[in-house]
């Protein structure tokens, strides 16, 4: 991808989200995460369960209040004191698609009311007819039809429900959509349908996505750039091609090599980096680099100093002492 | 090679308020000694129900085997009594479930749970069984097994729990191990550990594995033979190479094409349009006909017979009939480029 000066839609600066855990404990779900999202791009966020990727997404849209740091959307901070009217403005620009299409639709509302909820709140339809027409249009946009409007969620399959979730997000005509594992609950053949739909909509409407998932192959497919998270930190961020061709961070390397590929011959010949042990607890994370306890290249400096978030190559950010000459020198 | 387990025209149905759901509709399969067979399919394809039928773990009164035989060691498990099954479950055939969080008893120590089978099936004394439990924990790669044997499931992480579940399943040296989505609930790096462990254990113990999964990556990693299920039927079987490199059934093509490839650039995923059939009223003909881009008139009304592509490779599709037009698989379904 050509590196052109592009307009930033969203800037996340040193974002932190801590949750209280027990009497004295603090769970550092997201700890000092910074990245930008450009207009019209898809930024993928990958990592294993508990790495803080969903919390990051939810904090950006202010489902959670940030413990510290800023989320700047088109020059304005989303967090901080806000009146209802100000928040409403952000809510119209940012929408979310959730993982579980069974739990994220109210079973007692018709599809029409689910989709029109945002339209009603923001007063986007003047008459009942206008409201209906908008809903019908949205249903057709996501590949359903107007007959579906008066049905209830239980009458739909998982893939169809996810389409309803997408229509609901589109109803207020947002610019930015956070999709939190939107396809993980779906079957393979249905996953492809939903991903294709999301990519089409992006092309038609110029949407910007934050696509959160644990399935790296799907993230690679849909994203322009990908950020890798581990235990509350972003460890690497670059274009999706570069990330998969030349991963720099040892965790990214291990993560990529761990994915089984649907190609038996390749599977037989592939050398795998198998990480030992489990992810440590985010309540009491390791000092220095959080990955050092499982890292095959860990050095002394990794325990002492937290690695800097630095641009190792143009557009390729990584937080690892291996790519920090000073740190390596210090170590020797 | 000797056939260890043979399913012959198995039909399984569930009685629901809405009517009879025909979840498995005539499945025939065989498993050789020591081999690993993967059953692949999407939710509702009948893959889990098939395995539960083998273990006779279908819910009482609701689910039942309507027809067919399950031959194991000269015995028909479809007709075996509950008492006979109790001797087989855990001893001869054992099972690993998807969710290690719920398949362990939270109120029993890990050691007790492993010992349960050993005491019941092999009449071991308590001390013998405990020693064997510790050895098993060591075998599945749990550090400090002497200490951990007395701990409870909540003290273990997800990956470690799945290792414990595997230890329980292997305790009595079963001939067949049924693994129902054994890694689906786990993270990729932990999944890699567990797959590695399973492959390693299979080499060591010679247990035959039936792997049930929807993940073709896991299949390519672990299986020697593959059966693809759709709408309660097996639509294609073959060696893992045949299924990935020379697939014949359009559904298999669709599955392969709808997965993004990490090692190649896919512009657009080839989605399979539509949704799986309703097994309350299963289609008369090929279950995939309604979603198949190559469907012909005959597909709607008549179920195709399984045609032999090679001695190990069969597919049930009318396209393989000599009167059918020649169709090439879509490019997106080609695995591994030029082969």
The CATH number of domain B3-223 is 3.40.190.10: no
Decide if B262 and A216 are in contact by the 8 Å CB cutoff: yes
Q: In tens digits, what is the pLDDT along chain B, a chain of 339 residues?
A: 568 999 999 999 999 888 999 999 999 999 999 999 999 998 889 999 999 999 999 998 899 999 999 999 889 999 999 999 999 999 999 999 888 888 899 999 999 999 999 999 999 999 999 999 999 999 998 989 999 999 999 999 888 999 999 999 999 999 999 999 998 888 888 888 899 999 999 999 999 999 999 999 999 999 999 999 999 999 999 999 999 999 999 999 999 988 887 766 667 788 888 888 889 999 999 999 999 999 999 999 999 999 999 999 999 999 999 899 988 888 888 876 433
Do the domain assignments include residue A83? Answer: yes
- How many independent structural domains does chain A possess? 1
**Nearest beta carbon to residue B261 from set A192, A217, A256:** A217
Domain around A154? 8-268
| CB within 8 Å of chain A, chain B residues 210-239 | 214-221
Report if residue A312 sits inside a domain.
Answer: no
Please say if the pLDDT value at position A3 is more than 60.
no
Please report, for chain B, the start and end positions of each structural domain, with discontinuous segments joined by +: 3-223, 248-333
- What is the distance between the alpha carbons of residues B8 and B1, in angstroms, rounded to a whole number? 18
Q: Is the pLDDT of residue A176 over 60?
A: yes
3-state DSSP of A106-123? CCCCCHHHHHHHHHHHCC
Residue B323 · residue B310 · CB < 8 Å: no
Whether the pLDDT of residue A253 is over 90: the answer is yes
Question: Residue A255 is part of a domain; what is its CATH number?
Answer: 3.40.50.300
3-class DSSP state of B267: coil
Q: Looking at residue B339, what is its pLDDT?
A: 39
Residue A1 has pLDDT above 70, yes or no: no
Residue A115 has pLDDT above 90, yes or no: yes
Q: Could you identify the residue written with the tokens 């940012």?
A: A94
B195 touches chain A (CB under 8 A): yes
Average pLDDT of the residues in A303-330: 89
**Pick from B218, B273, B336: which is nearest to A260 by CB?**
B218
Task: Please indicate, yes or no, if residue A302 is contained in any of the structural domains.
Answer: no
Please report the number of interchain residue pairs, chain A to chain B, with beta-carbon separation below 8 angstroms.
124
Q: Do A216 and B270 touch (CB under 8 A)?
A: no
For chain A, give me the number of helices (H) and strands (E)? 12, 12
* Arithmetic mean of pLDDT over chain A: 91
Averaged pLDDT, A167-179: 95
> If you average pLDDT over residues A105-109, what whole number do you get?
95
Measured CA distances, B212 to B22, B37, B301 (Å): 19, 9, 30
- Residue B255 is nearest to which of A189, A220, A259, comparing CB atoms? A189
The pLDDT, as a whole number, for residue A161 is: 93
Mind listing the pLDDT tens digit for each residue in A134-164? Answer: 999 999 999 998 999 999 999 998 889 999 9
Alpha carbons B119 and B172: distance in angstroms, whole number:
10
Using the CB atoms, write b or e for B225-246: b if 16+ within 10 Å: bbbbbbbbbbbbbbbbbbbbbb
């Amino acid at each position: 991808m050509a590196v052109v000066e592009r307009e930033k839609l969203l800037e996340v600066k040193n974002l932190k989200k801590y949750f209280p855990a027990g009497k004295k404990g603090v769970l550092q779900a997201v700890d000092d995460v910074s990245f930008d999202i450009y207009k019209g791009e898809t930024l993928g966020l990958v990592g294993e369960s508990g790495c803080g990727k969903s919390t990051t997404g939810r904090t950006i849209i202010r489902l959670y209040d940030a413990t510290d740091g800023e989320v700047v959307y088109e020059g304005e901070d989303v967090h901080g004191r806000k009146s209802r009217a100000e928040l409403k403005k952000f809510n119209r620009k940012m929408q979310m698609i959730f993982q579980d299409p069974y739990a994220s639709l109210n079973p007692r509302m018709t599809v029409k009311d689910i989709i029109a909820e945002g339209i009603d709140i923001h007063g986007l339809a003047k008459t009942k007819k206008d409201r209906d027409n908008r809903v019908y249009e949205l249903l057709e946009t996501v590949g359903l039809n107007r007959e579906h409007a008066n049905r209830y969620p239980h009458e739909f399959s998982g893939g169809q429900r996810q389409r309803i979730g997408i229509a609901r997000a589109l109803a207020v005509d947002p610019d930015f959509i956070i999709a939190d594992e939107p396809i993980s609950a779906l079957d393979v053949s249905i996953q492809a349908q939903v991903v294709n739909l999301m990519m089409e909509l992006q092309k038609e409407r110029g949407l910007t996505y934050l696509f959160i998932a644990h399935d790296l192959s799907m993230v690679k497919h849909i994203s322009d750039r990908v950020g890798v998270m581990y235990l509350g930190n972003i460890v690497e961020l670059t274009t999706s091609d570069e990330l998969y061709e030349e991963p720099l961070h040892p965790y990214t390397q291990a993560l990529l090599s761990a994915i089984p590929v649907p190609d038996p011959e390749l599977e037989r010949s592939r050398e795998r980096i198998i990480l030992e042990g489990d992810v440590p607890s985010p309540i009491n994370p390791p000092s220095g680099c959080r990955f050092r306890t499982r890292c095959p290249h860990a050095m002394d400096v990794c325990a002492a100093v937290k690695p800097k978030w630095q641009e190792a190559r143009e557009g390729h950010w990584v937080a690892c002492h291996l790519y920090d000459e000073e740190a390596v020198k210090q170590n020797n | 090679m000797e056939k260890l387990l043979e399913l012959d025209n198995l039909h399984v149905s569930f009685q629901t308020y809405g009517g009879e759901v025909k979840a498995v509709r005539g499945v025939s399969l065989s498993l050789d000694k020591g081999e690993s067979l993967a059953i692949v399919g999407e939710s509702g394809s009948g893959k889990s129900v098939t395995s539960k039928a083998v273990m006779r773990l279908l819910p009482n009164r609701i689910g039942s085997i309507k027809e067919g035989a399950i031959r194991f060691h000269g015995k028909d498990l479809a007709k075996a009594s509950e008492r006979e099954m109790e001797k087989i479950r855990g001893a001869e055939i054992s099972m690993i479930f998807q969710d290690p969080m719920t398949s362990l008893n939270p109120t029993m120590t890990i050691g007790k749970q492993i010992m349960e089978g050993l005491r019941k099936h092999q009449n071991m004394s308590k001390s013998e069984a405990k020693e064997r439990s510790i050895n098993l924990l060591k075998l599945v790669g749990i550090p400090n097994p002497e200490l951990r044997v007395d701990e409870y499931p909540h003290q273990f992480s997800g990956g470690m729990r799945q290792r414990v579940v595997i230890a329980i399943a292997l305790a009595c040296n079963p001939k067949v191990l049924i693994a129902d989505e054994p890694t689906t609930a786990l993270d990729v790096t932990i999944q890699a550990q567990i797959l590695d462990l399973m492959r390693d254990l299979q080499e060591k113990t010679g247990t035959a594995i039936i792997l049930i999964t929807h993940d073709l990556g896991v299949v390519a990693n672990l299986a020697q033979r593959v059966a693809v299920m759709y709408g309660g039927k097996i639509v294609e079987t073959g060696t893992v190479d045949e299924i990935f490199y020379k697939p014949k059934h359009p559904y298999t093509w669709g599955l392969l094409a709808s997965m993004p490839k990490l090692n190649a650039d896919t512009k657009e995923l080839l989605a399979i349009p539509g949704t799986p059939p309703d097994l309350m009223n299963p289609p008369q003909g090929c279950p995939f006909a309604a979603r198949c881009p190559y469907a012909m008139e005959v597909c709607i009304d008549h179920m195709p017979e399984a045609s032999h592509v090679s001695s190990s490779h069969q597919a049930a599709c009318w396209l393989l009939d000599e009167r059918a037009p020649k169709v090439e698989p879509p490019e997106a379904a080609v695995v591994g480029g030029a082969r």
